Structure formats: C-alpha cells, structure tokens
Amino acid sequence: MTADFELHTPLPVHPRGKKGGGTPVRTQIVDYLARNGASKVADISSGVGSSRDCVRYHLAALEGASVVRSDISPGTRGGFTPFYALAPEKLRGLNTKDFSSRE
C-alpha cells in the first residue's frame, strides 16, 4: 500500500532576536499599516496574503505589545468591525525607508 501524500521539507524557521526579528506576518502587517493607515482585518488579510484568523492572531500580539491599536477596545468589540493602526508613539520611531516599495 502506498501513501497518498508527499513528504515536504520543513519551512525555514526565522530566529527571533535578530534585526527584523518578528514573525514575517507581523512585519508584513506593520508594513501594510505604515503604507495604508488604519485598516480592518479583511483589508490587512488581503494585503499581506494571510488568512483573517492568522492576521487577527498577530494583531492581538502586536496590540498587546502596543505596536498597533484599534478604535474599539478588545473587550467591547462584539458585532463591530475594529480598524487597526500603528500606535502613534511607534510611528515616530519608524524609519520610512524601511517601508519603501520592495520588489
């Protein structure tokens, strides 16, 4: 009997603590918000090419670290669509060259 699946090599792991040490999705989210301003999860998800659940997970971590903030407090969102933006105090520390068009 043969297996109906193929074995793939694991994806590379990005070590934390190095320059740009966040996860690639979080970096993409910060980049997206720096370029586009306040956005809802669906727009961010489309912009970074990740699922909405994945984006929500990383936005929660970024919000907990005070990198992003939303217009609706986490405990009071029921039925409302929050918009996420970079926290103003974090915007001052960003180098705009970091968010120039990457090709």
Name the pTM for this structure. 0.64
Closest C-alpha among 30, 47, 14, 22 to residue 94: 30
pLDDT tens series, the chain, 103 aa: 455 545 444 444 444 444 445 579 999 999 999 999 999 999 999 999 999 999 999 999 999 999 999 887 666 666 778 899 999 876 665 554 444 444 3
Closest C-alpha among 45, 39, 44 to residue 83: 39
Domains in the chain: ranges and CATH: 24-72+81-88 (1.10.10.10)
